[in-house]
Amino acid sequence: MSKLGIIYDYQFLDHKIDTFSPENPDRLKNLYIEIANPKYAHLYKKYLPQVITSNLLHRIHSEFYIEQLRSFSFCINPYSYDKDTYLMEDSLYVAKLSSGSNIVLIDALMNNEIDIGFSLCRPPGHHALPERGMGYCIFNNASISTRYLLDKYNINKILILDFDVHHGNGTEEIFYSNNNVLTVSIHQRNIFPFTGHVQDVGIEEGKGYNINIPVYPQYGDEEYLYLFDNIIKKICEEYNPDFFIVSAGYDGHMDDNTSDTTLTYIGYQNIIRRIKSYIQTMNNKKALFLLEGGYNPNVLERCILDTLEELSTSYTNIHLTEQSSRAQLLVEKEIKPILKEYWPSIF
Ligand SMILES: [Zn+2]
């Protein structure tokens, strides 16, 4: 049975505006109430968030960018910095708390207090570039966590798997020429941020260490599970990372209107079960999950509770998906021709 550590905190709800944005405190409010229910207490150990230090933040984001955020957070129009990513007086503090929470969980993982961590924080991070926040993301939490593992713990083989329905463009860009970090993103094609093409495999030493699996609209459980079983599983096994970071977004659910994919609760449970089995085959079975998107609060709450339940049990019985003609076509026509040079195991 895995020891699971989580972080949730009402301070994460302080990043907010008066008008509606899909990325708002209601995404997590009810989840926090529910998760505090004693019936879930056996699932996890709770850790307290911490604000990230400037030194760590600067390993990914420049002082200029942070200063820019600070000045925009006092503008009258919260959208004066970016059309999606609002900035208010508390936004910078909450974003620093969000990034710092992952560091708390990494230390707990590396001290062997827990096996898997899940930071239930906001704002999300995977779209944030070193010099630019976008897509509701201010600091790139997955990248800061990865940089911390590289620098502090000398872990030089890190896999970042991003299953948010939007491409993790910030994470991709930050490690695009790095061969110590394998970035894998499965996302819907041709939606925000309109990046994440199969051909984008990395550059220089990082060539082959960036994998994009852009799915078509209307893909659902069958197609996703086929792609996990036939591409992602094989790559995880071949790479055999020393640390697993999961950018967990639940906005590909059929009832989340930011995407056209049709994943169900069962589909997400099966995705998590698969990721758990990949983690269990690693030498160093350490993994950090961090929350990215998911914009239907009810869907997000149930998906996260299911995920915690799944991650905390030892049950790993996986029924491999039979066939999916649509996903098979994507694999044969688009993915294999590009990736065969770098990842022979997918054949
Ligand atoms: Zn998303």
Instruction: Give me the DSSP letters along 226-283.
Output: HHIIIIIHHHHHHH--SEEEEEE--TTBTT-TT---BB-HHHHHHHHHHHHHHHHHSS
Strand partners, 46: 6
Report d(CA 216, CA 209) in Å as an integer: 23
DSSP state of 16: -
DSSP H or E stretch at residue 144: helix 141-152
Q: Please give the angle made by the CA atoms of 159, 165 and 166, to the nearest 5 degrees.
A: 85
Alpha carbon of 191 to ligand 1 centroid (Å) = 10
Q: Give the distance, in angstroms, between the CA of residue 102 and the centroid of all CA atoms in the same chain.
A: 12
Residues 133-148, mean pLDDT to the nearest whole number: 98
Please report where in the chains the tokens 């021709």 appear, as a residue.
337
Alpha carbon of 164 to ligand 1 centroid (Å) = 5
Alpha carbon of 7 to ligand 1 centroid (Å) = 20
DSSP string computed for 58-116: HTTS-HHHHHHHHHHTTSSSTTSS-SS----TTHHHHHHHHHHHHHHHHHHHHTTS-SE
Report d(CA 312, CA 309) in Å as an integer: 5
Alpha carbon of 241 to ligand 1 centroid (Å) = 25
Report d(CA 28, CA 96) in Å as an integer: 18
Alpha carbon of 336 to ligand 1 centroid (Å) = 25
Residues 177-200, mean pLDDT to the nearest whole number: 98
Alpha carbon of 293 to ligand 1 centroid (Å) = 4
pLDDT confidence of residue 317: 74
Q: Which two tokens stand for residue 319?
A: 């029924």
Q: Which two tokens stand for residue 70?
A: 């600070």
Query: CB of 250 within 8 A of CB of 293?
Result: yes
Length of the chain: 347
Beta-carbon count within 10 A of 3 CB:
15
Which parts of 265-343 fold into alpha helices (H)? 265-281, 297-312, 325-330, 336-339
Q: pLDDT tens digits, residue range 279-309? A: 999 888 899 999 999 999 999 999 999 999 9
Alpha carbon of 232 to ligand 1 centroid (Å) = 19
Contacts of residue 180, Cβ cutoff 8 Å, sequence gap at least 6: 150, 156, 157, 158
Report d(CA 231, CA 119) in Å as an integer: 26
| 333 pLDDT tier (thresholds 50, 70, 90) | very high
pTM confidence score? 0.97
Q: Give the distance, in angstroms, between the CA of residue 219 and the centroid of all CA atoms in the same chain.
A: 20
Strand partners, 243: 158
Write down the catalytic residue from 61, 126, 127, 166: 127
Residue 315 has pLDDT above 70, yes or no: no
3-state secondary structure of 15: coil
Q: Which of 53 and 82 is assigned the larger pLDDT?
A: 53
Calculate the average pLDDT of the chain: 95
Give counts: helices (H), strands (E), the chain.
Answer: 12, 8
Contacts of residue 136, Cβ cutoff 8 Å, sequence gap at least 6: 21, 22, 23, 84, 85, 123, 124, 127, 293
* Catalytic site includes residue 167: no
Alpha carbon of 38 to ligand 1 centroid (Å) = 30
DSSP H or E stretch at residue 186: strand 181-188
Alpha carbon of 303 to ligand 1 centroid (Å) = 14
Residues 40-69, mean pLDDT to the nearest whole number: 96
Alpha carbon of 249 to ligand 1 centroid (Å) = 6
Lowest mean pLDDT of 220-229, 263-272, 316-325, name the range.
Answer: 316-325
Alpha carbon of 162 to ligand 1 centroid (Å) = 10
Please report where in the chains the tokens 């065969």 appear, as a residue.
340
Dihedral sign for Cα atoms in the order 100, 311, 127, 342? positive
Q: Which of 96, 310, 53, 343 is nearest to 210 (CA)?
A: 343
| 169 pLDDT tier (thresholds 50, 70, 90) | very high
The alpha-carbon radius of gyration of the chain (Å, integer) is 19
Q: pLDDT tens digits, residue range 227-255? A: 999 999 999 999 999 999 999 999 999 99
